[in-house]
Amino acid sequence: MRYSYRTQGTCSQQIDFTVEDGILKDVQFYGGCDGNTQGISLLVEGMPVEEVIKRLDGIRCGFKPTSCPDQLCRALKQVIEQ
């Protein structure tokens, strides 16, 4: 299923992604540091959702309390809770 998540507290404004059988696919960040968000997207492609959360949850960006990877985890947690 395809999801969209409006980020909070980061330079990126939105993350779109697909979850099929617990596997994360087609991750796209809108805004943010282009190279970093492209890298994150490619690295998590094909990973189980739980593994992505395990690895990226709580990462901070400088003095901000969150980051683009952390926002992705928050989005994935919402998907799991549904």
The pLDDT of 28-49, averaged and rounded, is 97
Separation CA 70–CA 61 (nearest Å)? 9
Please report, as a single letter, which amino acid is at residue 67: S
What's the pLDDT at 82? 86
Task: Give the distance, in angstroms, between the CA of residue 14 and the centroid of all CA atoms in the same chain.
Answer: 9
Candidates 44, 37, 2, 41; CA nearest to 19 is: 2
pLDDT at 36 exceeding the cut of 90: yes
Separation CA 43–CA 17 (nearest Å)? 13
| pTM over cut 0.85 | yes
Domain limits, the chain: 2-81
Residue 76: left (phi > 0), alpha (psi -120 to 50), or beta?
A: alpha
- The H or E element containing residue 12 is strand 12-20
Mean per-residue pLDDT over the chain, rounded:
97
